[in-house]
């Protein structure tokens, strides 16, 4: 269990990091350096030698290594990002960059995504410095820029240009997992991520014959685009179960005393009730149209129309995703990736997963740990290029009524102080022995 000072520091660090506005609006519009310097100063005070690295001015990453007691053991990467998504102050009941601590809760953008985890890491390693603790295996700590956009200035840059800093790392933990999911029937479930869907953000372009809006036009780019977007939006993707999702369904079925029937997953999901939300977005590929651009005057038929689609695909199903998009867009609409990243799969029968499970259950013995696959993605995708298997493990014990997944990128993002204390305790226990 972490000491009292670590518990105080994790709350203070979370609050102070939130006050450092690191809003990432995309396109390079962000400056993580103040938060990076904040983290580096606290790592240095713990006796570590942090390295600050930038691909572009102000887009700062921090990396530090802690030597373990077993030089033959593989190293473990522990990573968290420093940037946050935008927040409109007028929509919040507290200012999103106040870091206010009120009624046992820390408020502000980044409270769960993911300055809380950054603060946990800092609090744990500083406690170790006070106590003279060393972990079993080397730990590489990485605080990254640009996760909320392309990761080109963050984990992607580190993996491409500074791979040597991660020498020996075979596994990693980062967002998002080991949080409390209340099923509405008195059960506390702690999902640990062991996979991510791949990201395929698409640009669709339809071309046709420009002309007057009053004339018949069988080569209308807007019509062609609208038809393709409709086909994509209405497409029923087939069921595809990755090993992680299969394990999640099996463990959830056992928890609820349901006969496992993976040949009828939709029926199983209905029987799981609210817990189905942990897996239902990851049993299929998906593609959701999100933006449309066309025309410049009401009575002019444009020669080109553009749409954007948020596509996600499961591990092992990217080829199917590509082939399906070729079919759905048809001969009159071209598509290309605007952003593309791989799907991930990590084993749930590995010793590290057992250690994560044990750490959570030590401090939440009433909880039920299950694996799950993230519907979105994290920096683990970038680090996978170095052969590092990633897990989502940023522990939080949340009271009933806190919808963790809704707080991500949501209004009035906040985290209970007690949840941060739990996170420090669990992270401390796990990192000592992993």
CA distance 160 to 148: 18
**What average pLDDT does this structure show over 379-405?**
95
Adjacent-strand bridge partners of 396: 179
Pairing between strand 105-107 and 101-102? antiparallel
User: 393: pLDDT confidence band, cut at 50, 70 and 90?
Assistant: very high
User: pLDDT at position 36, please?
Assistant: 98
Residue 405 confidence (pLDDT): 83
- Could you give all domains of the chain from N- to C-terminal order, each with its CATH number? 4-176+378-433 (3.40.630.10), 198-240+284-341 (3.30.70.360)
Above 80 in pLDDT, residue 260? no
- Alpha helices, DSSP H, located in 96-161: 115-131, 155-161
Q: Which position among 83, 118, 196, 251 bears the catalytic label?
A: 83
End-to-end Cα spacing for the chain: 15
The pLDDT of residue 406 is 84
pLDDT of residue 404: 87
The pLDDT of residue 375 is above 80: yes
Task: pLDDT band for 376, please (50, 70, 90 cuts).
Answer: confident
Q: Is the pLDDT of residue 180 over 80?
A: yes
Determine the average pLDDT of the residues in 62-76.
Answer: 97
pLDDT above 70 covers what percent of the chain? 100
- As a whole number of angstroms, the distance between CA 43 and CA 31 comes to 20
Cα 327 to Cα 348: distance, rounded to the nearest angstrom: 35
Active site annotation includes 379: no
Question: What is the structure's pLDDT at 262?
Answer: 83
* Span of 28-32, 163-167, 168-172, 402-406 with lowest mean pLDDT: 402-406
Say whether pLDDT at 330 is over 80: yes
Work out the percent of the chain whose per-residue pLDDT is above 90. Answer: 94
From 36-50, 150-164, 327-341, 402-416, the region with the lowest mean pLDDT: 402-416
Active site (annotated) includes residue 413? no
Token pair, residue 95, equals 């200012």
pLDDT at 422: 98
pLDDT band at 267 (very low <50, low <70, confident <90, very high): very high
Residue 25 pLDDT > 90, yes or no? yes
Whether 261 shows a pLDDT value over 80: the answer reads: no
- Asked if residue 259 has pLDDT above 90, the reply is no
pLDDT beyond 80 at 1:
no
* E-only strand ranges, 314-366: 333-341, 344-345
pLDDT for 178? 97
Query: Parallel, antiparallel, or unpaired: how do β-strands 188-196 and 367-374 relate?
Result: parallel
Average pLDDT of span 415-427? 98
Report the pLDDT averaged over residues 237-246. Answer: 96
Write down the catalytic residue from 113, 118, 146, 147: 147
Angle at 147 between CA 141 and CA 150, to 5 degrees: 135
**E strand or H helix that includes residue 321:** helix 318-329
- The whole-number average pLDDT for the span 359-388 is 97
User: Given this model, what pLDDT does residue 196 score?
Assistant: 98
Residue 276 has pLDDT above 90, yes or no: yes
Query: What's residue 358's pLDDT?
Result: 98
Expressed in percent and rounded to 5, the helix, strand and coil fractions of the chain are 35, 25, 40
Rounded distance between C-alpha atoms, residue 40 and residue 50, angstroms: 6
Listed in sequence order, the DSSP H helices in 132-286 are 155-161, 221-234, 243-255, 265-272
């Amino acid at each position: 269990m972490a000491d009292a000072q670590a518990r105080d520091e994790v709350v203070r660090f979370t609050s102070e990091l939130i006050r450092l506005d690191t809003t990432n609006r995309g396109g390079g519009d962000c400056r993580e350096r103040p938060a990076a310097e904040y983290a580096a100063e606290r790592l240095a005070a713990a006796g570590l030698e942090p390295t600050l690295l930038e691909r572009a001015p102000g887009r700062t990453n921090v990396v530090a290594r802690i030597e373990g007691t077993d030089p033959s053991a593989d190293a473990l990467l522990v990573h968290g990002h420093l940037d946050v998504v935008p927040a409109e102050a007028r929509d919040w009941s507290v200012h999103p960059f106040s870091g206010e601590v009120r009624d046992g809760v820390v408020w502000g953008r980044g409270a769960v995504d993911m300055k809380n985890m950054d603060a946990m890491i800092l609090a744990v390693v500083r406690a170790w410095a006070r106590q003279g603790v060393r972990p079993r295996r080397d730990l590489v700590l990485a605080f990254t820029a640009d996760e909320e956009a392309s990761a080109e200035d963050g984990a992607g840059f580190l993996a491409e240009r500074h791979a040597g800093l991660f020498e020996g790392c075979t596994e990693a933990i980062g967002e998002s997992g080991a949080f409390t999911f209340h099923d509405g029937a008195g059960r506390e479930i702690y999902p640990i991520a062991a996979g991510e869907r791949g990201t395929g953000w698409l640009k669709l372009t339809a071309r046709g014959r420009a002309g007057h809006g009053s004339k018949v036009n069988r080569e209308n780019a807007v019509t062609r685009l609208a038809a393709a977007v409709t086909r994509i939006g209405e497409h029923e993707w087939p069921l595809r179960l990755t090993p992680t999702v299969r394990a999640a369904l099996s463990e959830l079925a056992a928890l609820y005393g349901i006969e496992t029937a993976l040949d009828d997953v939709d029926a199983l999901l209905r029987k799981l009730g609210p817990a189905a939300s942990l897996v239902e977005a990851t049993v299929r590929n998906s593609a959701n149209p999100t933006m449309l651009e066309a025309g410049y005057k009401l009575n002019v038929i444009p020669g080109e129309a553009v749409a954007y689609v948020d596509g996600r695909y499961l591990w092992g199903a990217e080829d199917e995703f590509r082939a399906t998009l070729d079919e759905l867009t048809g001969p009159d609409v071209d598509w290309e990736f605007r952003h593309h990243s791989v799907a991930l799969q990590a084993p749930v029968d590995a010793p590290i997963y057992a250690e994560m499970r044990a750490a959570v259950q030590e401090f939440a013995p009433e909880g039920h740990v299950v694996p799950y696959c993230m519907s979105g993605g994290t920096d683990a995708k970038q680090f996978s290029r170095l052969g590092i298997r990633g897990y989502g493990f940023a522990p939080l014990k949340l009271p009933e009524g806190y919808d963790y997944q809704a707080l991500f990128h949501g209004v009035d993002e906040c985290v209970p102080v007690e949840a941060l204390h739990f996170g420090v305790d669990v992270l401390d226990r796990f990192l000592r022995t992993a």
